[in-house]
Structure 1
Amino acid sequence: MRKVSVGQVGDGASLAGDRVVAAGSAARVLVAATVRALRGDDCADLGHATPLSRFTGAPEPVRRAAAARAAGRLALAPEQVAEVDAERVATWIVDQYPSHRWPGVLVGSPHGAAAHLAVALGVPWLPAGFEMTVHWTRGAVDRPRAALDHGAALAGRLLAGNGAVHVRQVHCPASRGASAGATVALAVRWRALPGAYARFLAENLAPGAPVLLLHDARTWPVLDEGRGHSFQLGSPVSGLDPVDFHPDAPALRQVLRAAGGDGACWEAPDVSCPAAYAENGVEPGFEHSARYWTGRHGHPLHRVLVPQPDALSAATADLYRRWLRRAGKTGDRLVVECGRLLDPWQVIRAGMVPYWCENATRRRVEGVEWWLAGSEPFSSVDVLPEPPGVRSPALAGLPQWLAVAGFGLRRRALDRGVARGYPVASVPTRRATEVLRNQPYDLPVPPALRMADALAALRDAGAHQGLLVS
């Protein structure tokens, strides 16, 4: 039995990891996709049709109410927060990977390209944190100060039993819509390498195997009073800027109307850190702890600082193209994935080049357009735009997604099933699997990429993509 330190919740009283980690959150989906791809499986079992699919054409108030109810059903109850054990969550994550002498490991910020990179290398990917949502009984999308008060109390309960984490609360109606008034979103980030991670690495890394740490370097204004809980109003994931969350901003008024609120009660809490790492960043203590552990155990640690998601997506796509061509494949068929719509195994099986868009905002779609404009043309381009389920002035329209598909020389495909309910539908991860299964096979799978080759390719891309590889 695992020894439980003073102040922590024991296994018998704590919630299981799959109950704690938010369904559909980036880290959860990416771990699941990576695990499946490493064992030669696709993502056909990930996600299911939600009740929201019945409300795509319903009036906005009806659809918003359905979204809020669905979010509340999946969230933890406030009294359950004290039962969360972050160490047990880490154990749940590593237990999904089989015991094996892995030639390396990727850790850090959630990013779809990290899953593709891990699969090409034949190594696991481990997140540096996880997201959880908690029910907010009398919540409102347009009352951020009330959200802060409620979230601070919840964070206090969580921190009482988990001293080695930092809790970043994110109130963002632009990316979460009506659910931001029904639940509180908490990004829980480890401030040190969890014991479960250290044990997994010690037992499963091959001698001298490298560790690659990916760090999302985007910043955002936050309120942090040094008590282990910080508050972030808005998010870079929204596709908006911090100024757009000012009460006089036209973008905020549009966002709040779409989410069922208004700006009359919008009172933004003060900011103490104007440029802190945003919710997907890595805690400095986590990196220091990982560096100390790898140094003691003879594993080199390399860090990749990612200024924007597009940089890692483009570098990984370029890396895949070279890797496929060295294996005798064309490397001329591209799939543009988005959000949860990805399937690393089907991409490998079809011999395709993956480019991952974090979400359907104009900025992320412009990123793939700029990369395509400067790349050698692809014979085919398949596009899988994930509907965000919300309306926002920052979203890309279907014409912009069609323009991405238009870069294909012979095949230009935008998935009609996804486009039908865009942008308010809810589409499971398995939709990507269904689409990619129709691609022709291109077997055998190339030999696993070596970490040294991957690092060299990322450094090459860093010169013009902005990646910093150390």
Structure 2
Amino acid sequence: MGPVRKVRPGLTAEGAGLAGDRVVAAGSIARILVGATARALRGTDCADLGHAGPVSRFAGTPEPVRRAMTARAVGRVALTAGQAAAVDADRVARWFTDQYPPRRYPGVLVGSPHGAAAHLAVALGMPWLPAGFEMIAHWPQGAVDRPRAALDHGAGLAGRLLAANPDLHLRQVHCPASRGALAGATVVLTARWRRLPAAYRRFLAERLAPGASVLVLRDGRTWPVLDAADGHSFQLGCPGSGLNPVDFHPDSHALRQVLRSAGGNGAHWEPPEISAPPAYAEHGVETGFELDVRDFACRYAHRVRRLLFPAPEVLSAAVADLYRHWLRVAGKTGDRLVVECGRLLDPWQVLRAGLVPYWCENATRRSVEQAEWWLAGSDPFSSVDVLPESPGVRSPALAGLPQWLAVAGFGRRRRALDRTSARGYPVTSVPTRRATEVLRAQPCDLPAPPPLEMADALALLRETGSRDGLLVG
């Protein structure tokens, strides 16, 4: 028998299994958004959200050394095969709901992760809950350029997870363009609930006011997907990489660049054949989950609405326009903008300073270009602060610092690109709390406007977002 690994306090709940904070990947967007939204509803900022990503510690080291050290750092927190079998998705759901202050709410937002969803939830005075969560598991003897081997290893992990959690669908994503060398040391499994988990049912039954609203947010992006087994699907690349599905073909020049940067070899790239029509990408919402939300909410006379966005920038622009209108109706200028990126956001500080938030999903050229287009078509802002999140990898799809500077250049009087975030870009990460540190320097503009009513918010979103494909139903 091998050595028994001691379990640190706090990693188990009620004496069995793994607690949610151990299961959900550190730094995953759903985890950050729940933490940020819950803090804002408590009236606090994100100063204690310190996850910076493993690459932040290894600035200035040679690339091969940095890759190896990063893989080892992630390996220390990744789930083992045995721990994967101990995952309890219901406990994860309870961990999410327990982060919110214990009071009655006028409604709740559930569904796909999106930074603007957190800002929308705070403006409405409502929690946001994800329809899934991300896990990272060990891949011993893995290789960034071996997607077939990644699929085989992921299938074994998925079997263990699904045996204990039959209400999950597991989407495995192998994407060297967004994860770099880590795609060869660990596998990513995005778990999506196929039914409403018990903790969410309790939340809808006990924590919502009579006649509350339930808003389901759905990311409408699609991607080629291989149905590997019942409850397990495989995705090569992802929309957030800034690349297209064709860029993950063995003959792709962009793929060769990505693999070379991650320590792989394009000659080894032999992906599994994916012939099925594209399906919703990893941040989509399972149809059974939404149907269950509707059925359960109707029992308590809660009204269910849906917000479907075809691309992240569509919701980002609509919520930014909503915030500007909301602030101006309350007698504020609505002329100061913060462009957030990835995990660099703080809804409470945005509210405290009376800022308009625009959220970029990541630092890809595509994402930053959309922010530029929105700014070009908007009334000018007196100040623009930009928080570029360093992705920790090199990719031909990434925006350069000059492009980020161009975004800041839309400010009439103040044009600020956070120097700390930009230092070491794109390979050196900064903690999530860096957004808090920057936004704390903004002048206070309290009191905040009174919370928006759901009907008014949806009307504004429909007015500003429908031309770009935002569907409000």
Same topology, TM > 0.5? yes
Q: Superposition pairs for residues 303-318 of structure 1, below 5 Å?
A: 303-318=306-321
Matched, 1:190 2:193: yes
- 1:323 paired with 2:353, answer no
Code of the residue aligned with 1:404 in structure 2: it is: V
Q: Deviations over 1:178-205 (max 9, x none)?
A: 1111111000000011111010110011
Q: What secondary structure does 1:445 align onto?
A: coil
Compute the displacement of 1:12 (Å).
Answer: 3.7
> Is 1:157 matched with 2:160?
yes
Counterpart residue number, 1:380: 383
Distance 1:203 1:62 in 2: 51
Aligned mate of 2:181, from 166, 169, 178: 178
Displacement, 1:50? 6.0
Find the counterpart in structure 2 of residue 253 from structure 1. Answer: 256
| One of 137, 140, 144 as aligned partner of 1:137 | 140
Whole-angstrom distance in 1 between the partners of 2:295 and 2:249:
42
Matched residue, 1:112: 115
Q: Quick one: structure 1 residues 147 and 296, their matched pair in 2 at CA, closer, same or farther if it must change by over 3 Å?
A: same
Gaps of 5+ in 2: 1-11
Task: Give the aligned partner of residue 423 of structure 1.
Answer: 426
Is 1:16 the counterpart of 2:56? The answer is no
Q: Quote the offset at 1:47 in angstroms.
A: 1.2
What SS does structure 2 have at the residue aligned with 1:206? strand
Deviation at 1:54, TM superposition (A): 3.9
Distance, in Å, in 2 between the alignment partners of 1:48 and 1:64 is 19
- 1:101 counterpart = 2:104: yes
Shift of 1:14: 1.4
User: Where does residue 9 of structure 2 map in the other structure?
Assistant: none
Deviation at 1:63, TM superposition (A): 1.3
Q: Does 1:167 align with 2:176?
A: no
- Asked if structure 2 preserves the Cα contact closer than 8 Å seen for 1:11 and 1:88, the reply is no
Q: Aligned residue for 1:3?
A: none
State whether residues 27 and 53 of structure 2, in contact with CA within 8 Å, keep that contact through their aligned partners in structure 1. no
- Give a deviation string over 1:328-354, Cα, whole Å, max 9, x none: 100000000000000000000000000
SS of alignment partner, residue 411 of structure 2: coil
CA shift in 2, pair 1:307/1:89, >3 Å? same
For 2:240, the equivalent position in structure 1 comes to 237
| Counterpart code for 1:168 | R
**Aligned pair count?**
462
Q: How far 1:234 sits from its partner (Å)?
A: 0.3
Unaligned 5+ runs, structure 1: 1-8
Match of 1:6 in 2: none
Bigger mean CA deviation after superposition, 51-60 or 67-76: 51-60
Matched with 1:76 is 79
**Which residue of structure 1 aligns with residue 295 of structure 2?**
292
Q: Is the 8 A contact 2:204 2:297 kept in 1?
A: no
- 1:267 maps to 270
Offset, 1:13: 2.7
Q: Specify the SS of the correspondent of 1:63.
A: helix
Shift of 1:458: 1.0
Mark the CA change 1:469 to 1:246 in structure 2 (over 3 Å): closer, same or farther.
same
Shift in CA distance, 54/97, structure 1 to aligned 2, threshold 3 Å: closer
Q: Is the 8 A contact 2:144 2:181 kept in 1?
A: yes
Partner residue of 1:219? Answer: 222
2:412 alignment partner, SS class: coil
CA apart distance, 1:462: 2.7
Q: CA deviation at 1:273?
A: 2.7
Given that 1:173 and 1:259 are in contact with CA atoms closer than 8 Å, whether structure 2 keeps it comes out as yes
Deviation at 1:263, TM superposition (A): 1.1
Tell me which residue corresponds to 1:4. none
**Residue of structure 1 equivalent to 2:369:** 366
Identical-pair percentage? 76
Write the distance in 1 (CA, Å) between the matches of 2:353 and 2:465. 27
Letter in 1 for 2:104: R
Contact residue 81 and residue 138 of structure 2 kept, 8 A: yes
1:86 aligns with 2:112: no
Please, what TM-score do these two structures have when normalized by structure 1?
0.97
Distance in 1, Cα, partners of 2:453 & 2:360: 25
Distance (Å, rounded) in 1 between the aligned partners of 2:438 and 2:16:
42
Query: Which letter does structure 1 place at the counterpart of 2:326?
Result: W
Judged with a 3 Å threshold, the aligned counterparts in structure 2 of structure 1 residues 272 and 194 are, in CA distance, closer, same or farther, namely: farther
SS in 2 for 1:149: helix
Q: Show the counterpart of 2:67.
A: 64
> Taking structure 1 as reference, are residues 93 and 386 closer, same or farther at Cα in structure 2, changes over 3 Å only?
same
Q: Which amino acid aligns with 2:251?
A: D
Aligned to 2:211: 208
- 1:345-369, Cα deviation, whole Å (9 max, x unpaired): 0000000000000000001001100
Question: Aligned partners of 2:248 and 2:389: how far apart in 1?
Answer: 24
State the alpha-carbon separation in 2 of the partners of residues 97 and 67 from structure 1: 33
Contact 1:224 1:272 (C-alpha < 8 Å) held by counterparts:
no
* CA 104–133 in structure 1, closer or farther in 2 if over 3 Å, else same: same
**3-state SS of paired residue (2:270):** coil
Backbone CA RMSD of aligned residues: 1.3
Whole-Å Cα distance in 2 between the matches of residues 213 and 413 of structure 1?
35
Work out the CA distance in 2 between the residues paired with 1:185 and 1:335.
Answer: 31
Give, in whole Å, the separation in 1 of the partners of 2:51 and 2:188.
Answer: 22
**Aligned with 1:352 (options 351, 355, 358):** 355
